[in-house]
Amino acid sequence: MAGPLEGIRVIEIAGIGPGPFCAMLLADLGADVLRIDRAERVRSDRPGVVPFDLTARSRRSAAIDLKHPRGVETVLRLVERADVLTEGFRPGVMERLGLGPDVCLARNPRLVYGRMTGWGQDGPMARAAGHDINYIALAGALAHFGRAGQKPTPPLNMVGDFGGGGIYLAFGLLAALLERQRSGKGQVVDAAMVDGAASLMTMIWGLYQTGGHSLEPGTNLLDTGAHFYEVYETSDGKYISLGSIEPQFYAELLERLGLENEPLPEQMDKAAWPQLKARFEALFRTRTRDEWCRVLEGTDVCFAPVLSMPEAAAHPHARARRAFVEVDGKQQPAPAPRFSRTPNPLPTPPARPGEHTDRALLDWGFSRDLLASLREAKAIA
């Protein structure tokens, strides 16, 4: 199995968070991704790849000293044969290393040069440090994750790092590769987590500007304000989720809960939502999660149990779709999405820094004599 990106060569300048996630997505779809790790990671006594770094899967690692002139030249030789380069440093770092987009595009005008930052390549915040929580806060997203009367709750680092960052960078890279088929030219893709997080809020912006979404968290249709779009605790201390928005789904929910003949307020009467939520809370506490699954799962109620990661991997639907795989003893999500004619390759374990330096550079056109010379100069490890 080769995947739809077979034949696309990617240089990943190793980083953390959204950059590796983007590279993982490309590798999951069959791209030949060569991760450039710092040579000092091999020379030190520190462990190579931490066991949980599954976003480093499915690609090879070459250890190159980017502070050594011959190390920089080594990367530029790779650039000549690459389709894509990705980096996740603060603005200006790659330029100071001698690997900025102007230099790389001069060596290979067809190169798509992907830049992953929190704040973007310009603007007053561009060179400030930050993390997912800061980017989604400034993007106007974090303020809207929370229940009524409570402080905002960060949704892990899904919205900034991975949703607004890694996925948008991968999307931009693929768009630039498609455009290159027409123009024959590469370009720079500036992916900023603050931009991507704001983009993810587009639908909510539309609702807000047409009066369909309040700025007060926990009072709206999709932010736990509605009783029919909510998480409820069951008698065994577990949880279930409801998303019965459409009238026909809500009607089926009431029927399956035995409430169809009860004189309840109208579904969309917002003033009655707290009353209806209290009624649902009491009802769902009368049975266990598994008992509610037997009543509601697989129906048009729009229902699912709230599962932990191990529970999700063991669920019959996930097992039927092979949504999780085990690689080198570590369970993890399978590559997504899926393709009918060019199925995704199975993931391979994360590489240790420098594990494939010789083999990868040979495959990218370096001679054994040149490798020996680079190693003697300590430009590679």
Catalytic residue (one of 131, 300, 358, 363): 131
Strand partners, 63: 37
Strand partners, 64: 38, 380
Residue 173: CA atoms inside 13 Å, Cβ hemisphere, count?
A: 30
Give the span between the Cα atoms of 352 and 37, in whole angstroms.
9
Give the span between the Cα atoms of 68 and 52, in whole angstroms.
30
CB of 20 within 8 A of CB of 89?
Answer: no
- Among residues 322, 328, 213, the alpha carbon closest in space to that of 270 is found at 213
Catalytic residue (one of 161, 190, 195, 223): 161
Residues 6+ apart with CB under 8 A from 222: 204, 229
Exposed, middle or buried, 285 (CB in 10 Å: 0-12/13-18/19+)? middle
Q: For residue 25, give the amino acid letter.
A: L
Q: For residue 43, give the amino acid letter.
A: R
Q: Is 161 a catalytic residue?
A: yes
Give the span between the Cα atoms of 213 and 206, in whole angstroms.
9
- φ/ψ of residue 161, rounded to 5: -60, -55
Strands 112-117 and 84-87: parallel
Catalytic residues: 131, 161
